[in-house]
Amino acid sequence: MSEDVVLNVDVGPDDGLYRIQRDRKVLYVLLKYLELIPEDSRTLGPRIIRELSKLEQWFDDWDTITIDKDQTGIVVRLNEFQPHSIPERLIRNDYLQVDILDLPILGRLKCRTLYTCLNGSPCYVKFARFDFELAPIAQEIEVYHFLKDNHFTMIPKFLGYVYEGPHRVIGFLLEKIPGRHANIKDLEACKKALKELHKFIVHGDLNQYNIIITDNGPKFIDLETSSINPLSKSIEWDIKTDLEVQSLHAKLSDDSGIGRPFTLQ
């Protein structure tokens, strides 16, 4: 057995979540008793493993572990909660599925978006590290499928899904679009493209880093807060689309860095 490796950490004032790799398996830790790990060690991988591995049940067979404390001492509960996964209704059989542990990490764009490579071609993987991140990932998958069904092409190609275990999809793969981020000089082209997008969805999180200028015009990314066009026309929908078009000038002029990825790939 290889050494356990901490993949992701989310520590708050009351509890901590840890995503840990053990050999070819991903485990989840919910630490309700934060004092088990010294405060200066709660985000440091080797120190986290050092403290957690002192637990008697640490090397048992489990998928999730909850660690708490009551009047009798430390309480450990195995498999009290299930690892998260994308609802099966969103998974289509005509797309490939890739084990996320097989993907090389070439860069980190955002907390849950990685730059990687699939069959020699650069691409991005976007995934839910923990259960609370699942809803926006599921929403984005649904939006990409909806846009493809409607033959909308101003988006990256959806390549497939990533999983951590059998029947447990946690994210998806997108092609890397060659191009640059939009700026105010692209206003008219972006406005025209946005109006085409509004035939199907409201983006919901427009900024210059979510529009890629390609040789074939603007393309939109980061659709996790998008709203799908209702079947019937509504005043609310028209208001949403009008406001998004009106905001475009300010978004493309913004130099605050909002939405900027950690690294520009």
- Write down all domains in the chain, each with its CATH number in brackets: 5-78 (no CATH), 88-175 (3.30.200.20), 180-253 (1.10.510.10)
Region 97-113 average pLDDT? 94
The neighbour count for residue 208, using CB atoms within 10 Å, is 24
**What's the mean pLDDT in 208-234?**
92
Residue-level pLDDT at 259: 82
**Contact of 49 with 9, CB cutoff 8 Å:** no
For the stretch 132-136, contacts whose Cβ atoms lie closer than 8 Å and that sit 24 or more positions apart, written own/partner, are: 134/84, 134/85, 134/86, 134/170, 136/224, 136/225
Q: Is 52 a residue whose pLDDT tops 90?
A: yes
Q: Is the pLDDT of residue 224 over 90?
A: yes
pLDDT at 1 exceeding the cut of 70: no
Percent of the chain topping pLDDT 70: 98
pLDDT at 65 over 70: yes
Span 5-27, average pLDDT: 97
Strand partners, 220: 211
pLDDT of residue 231: 72
pTM for the model stands at 0.93
Residue that is written with structure tokens 């440091």 in the block: 44
Q: Residue 23: its pLDDT value, please?
A: 95
C-alpha pair distances (Å), 80 with each of 27, 62, 63, 64 = 13, 10, 9, 7
Alpha-carbon torsion (32, 37, 38, 40), positive or negative: negative
